[in-house]
Amino acid sequence: MKRIAASRRSAAIAAVLAIGILSTAGVYFGRAAGYRDVPFSDLLTAFERGQVAGIRAIDDEVRATLADGSELRAVAPAGYFAGNPDLIASLARSGVRIEVDRSSRRLFNALASVLGIGVLGLVGFTAWRTTTGRIPSVSGRTKVAGKGDRPVTFDDVAGVDEAKDELREIVDFLREPARFSGLGGRIPRGVLLAGPPGTGKTLLARSIAGEAGVPFLFASGSEFVEMFAGVGAARIRRLFKDARKHGRCIIFIDEIDAVGRSRGGQSHSHEEREQTLNQLLVEMDGFEGHAGIIVIAATNRHDILDPALLRPGRFDRQVTVGNPDVRGREEILGVHTRGVKIDAAVDLRQIARGTPGFSGADLANLINEAALIAGRAARAAIAHADLEAARDKVMMGVERRSLQLTARERVVTAWHEAGHAVVAALLPNADPVHKVSIVPRGRAMGVTMQLPDTDRHTYTRDYLETQLAILMGGRAAEQLFLKVETSGASNDIERATEIATHMVCDFGMSPLGPLAFRKQDEGGNRAGFSDDTARKVDAEIHGLVTRALETSRTMLHERCDAVTAVAERLLEIETLEADEIRALVN
């Protein structure tokens, strides 16, 4: 109703302004509405015959009223009256009433004045509405997970067993608070879930509410940040006020880094956010207790949060939710395939092995892509080949079958990928080769895929040097068998340089010793060591990459028959699987 009343007031003000403008225009336009336009010579003739009772001169326009009451209007030549003063004197002697008006732009000026007053009125009205009307509302309802939704439990969350163990105490307290309060224990006020995007932080928070059977109030950190002072803090107060009505409940704030960044700085733009953060700090651990209310927050940027937010009494417990390992990925795939028609022969363990570094969201996308691929093929269930194709699409991009390579480009790509594959198959510390293809995907003309047997959390020097040799295998094959060097090795060289840089500057795997050499600063200058040391660092990085290239050249030269076999087979069928690669190399 208030919005309707405000709209009616605005319409009334606009109508009044329009009436004023039209009235003013009507007055000025109406004055000349009854005049008949005639040539100036006719007006002079009327002067000579004594038929003119009065004239009104507006610059070069002459409006004459005749003795019979008719009205004429004509435009005189420029400067006519100024050059004929006798005419004016003769008309005056004849008793003609003469009026002179030099304000020829009076109508324009009047309209401009009315328009200016209208604009100022609208500006004043807008300022009045902003200061006395309703600014962004803080009285809306708090968002609560719907009762009709299927509750999420710990059974729907997989791959984060350690995080679930940390949060089971929260569930037990919400179910049986007396069990803890009788011993004098205090449940954590807040739990901070930190980790990369897509690892299931929000799902984990909902599972706590589902397990405990309590209301789940949720909000986003960005909802509390407004340009109007006080709105964010008011929304925080409203959120906790609504939570107290439920008694025992969970408040979930997603992306809390939007409002919980460290305070400080000279910019006035941060004052509203800091005021909102201060209100959140008070609500979580102030004079007023909130027994039974647990705040759970999620963030991808744990490092930028304000220290006062992380102290005991606010977010007492901080749980890291990372990317799952191979066993966790297999469990997550099992959860996402519950409502999906999947072939009984599908090996989820192998798919889990082939997706290192995937988050829960990535695996959910993988299953969805596989379902779409199976649907396009009109299959009744998702086959293992569909999951393989979906994984390749997610990891390496869509196949670019429409890209027509020349015969020379196909040959270069085949020998390049054969070099990668043979080096990877021969080196003892390398991950097993899973697939080699010369079908363009994304920006790559070909790809060699390796699948590790297990997830790696640390890397030995032998393993990193093996990776360097595999990366340089494509360039070595080009040099040995085709006597060319192409731009196709650019990504390999970039990755090899990055690995070698980490080995020297971060991992201490060089004759320079176990020292960490700082990277370039924002200005692009190397800091923390001398120019002589910088030259040694560059020489060590160069030596690691060039030695890896020589290792690849030696291996490919000794096994040129295997390289030839793999390259020719790739030119024939474009894609080789692991079994065929091993047969050709052995």
pLDDT tens-place string over residues 545-558: 999 999 999 999 99
Nearest CA among 175, 186, 277 for reference residue 235: 277
CB 503 within 8 A of CB 464: yes
Dist. CA 294–CA 247, nearest whole Å: 11
SS3 16: helix
Strand partners, 437: 447, 575
Q: Sheet of 575-577: strands edge to edge?
A: 447-450, 433-437, 575-577
Residue 471 pLDDT level (bands cut at 50, 70, 90): very high
Single-letter amino acid code for the residue at 527:
A
Pick from 11-25, 320-334, 488-502: least confident = 11-25
Locate 371 and state its tokens. Answer: 């379902």
Dist. CA 311–CA 309, nearest whole Å: 6
pLDDT digits (tens, 9 = 90+) for 349-391: 888 888 888 888 889 899 999 999 899 888 888 888 888 888 8
Dist. CA 305–CA 311, nearest whole Å: 11
Q: Give the C-alpha distances (Å, rounded to integers) separating 395 from 316, 357, 377, 523, 566.
A: 38, 11, 21, 34, 23
Residue 543 pLDDT level (bands cut at 50, 70, 90): very high
Whether the pLDDT of residue 484 is over 70: the answer is yes
Dist. CA 34–CA 32, nearest whole Å: 6
pLDDT of residue 29: 46
CB 399 within 8 A of CB 441: yes
Q: What is the four-CA torsion angle of 416, 417, 423, 426, rounded to 10 degrees?
A: -140
Average pLDDT (150-167) is 81
pLDDT of residue 138: 47
Strands 317-320 and 190-194: parallel
Tell me if residue 494 is catalytic: no
Phi-psi region of 200 (alpha: psi -120 to 50; beta: other; left: phi over 0): left
pLDDT digits (tens, 9 = 90+) for 90-132: 776 666 776 666 554 555 566 667 777 777 777 776 666 555 4
pLDDT of residue 467: 94
Dmax over Cα atoms in the chain, in whole Å? Answer: 129
Strand partners, 74: 62
Please state, rounded to an integer, the average pLDDT across all residues of the chain. 78
Locate 387 and state its tokens. Answer: 């999951």
pLDDT digits (tens, 9 = 90+) for 485-542: 998 889 999 999 999 999 999 898 989 888 888 665 555 555 567 888 888 999 999 9
Average pLDDT (272-278) is 77
CB 201 within 8 A of CB 143: no
CB 290 within 8 A of CB 251: no
Helices and strands (H, E) in the chain, number of each type = 22, 13
CB 504 within 8 A of CB 510: yes
Strand partners, 433: 450
SS3 content of the chain, % helix, strand, coil (to 5): 55, 15, 35
SS3 575: strand
Residue 134 pLDDT level (bands cut at 50, 70, 90): very low
- For the chain, which domains are there? 2-106 (3.30.720.210), 154-320 (3.40.50.300), 326-396 (1.10.8.60), 407-585 (1.20.58.760)
SS3 463: helix
Whether the pLDDT of residue 52 is over 90: the answer is no
pLDDT of residue 82: 61
pLDDT of residue 469: 94
Measured from the Cβ of residue 40, the count of other Cβ atoms closer than 10 Å reads 15
Whether the pLDDT of residue 408 is over 80: the answer is yes
Which of 284-288, 399-403, 512-516, 517-521 is modeled with the greatest confidence? 512-516
Q: What is the pTM of this model?
A: 0.65
Dist. CA 581–CA 158, nearest whole Å: 35
Element (H, E) at 567: helix 560-573
CB 390 within 8 A of CB 373: yes
| Catalytic residue of the set 331, 388, 417, 540 | 417
Average pLDDT (176-196) is 77
Residue 135 pLDDT level (bands cut at 50, 70, 90): very low
pLDDT of residue 529: 73
Packed helices 461-471 and 407-426: angle between N→C axes, nearest 10 degrees: 160
End-to-end CA distance of the chain: 83
The 8 Å CB, 24+ separation contacts for 128-135 are: 129/6, 133/6, 134/2, 135/228, 135/231
CB 269 within 8 A of CB 145: no
pLDDT: which is higher, 474 or 167: 474
pLDDT over 70, % of the chain: 76
pLDDT of residue 28: 47
Q: What is the four-CA torsion angle of 441, 468, 327, 434, rounded to 10 degrees?
A: 50
CA 382 to chain centre: 32
Taken as a whole, the chain contains a residue count of 586
Residue 27 pLDDT level (bands cut at 50, 70, 90): very low
Single-letter amino acid code for the residue at 60:
D
pLDDT: which is higher, 241 or 180: 241
The 8 Å CB, 24+ separation contacts for 374-379 are: none
Dist. CA 171–CA 361, nearest whole Å: 25
Dist. CA 518–CA 527, nearest whole Å: 6
Q: Give the C-alpha distances (Å, rounded to integers) separating 58 from 33, 75, 97, 184.
A: 15, 10, 14, 98
pLDDT of residue 106: 57
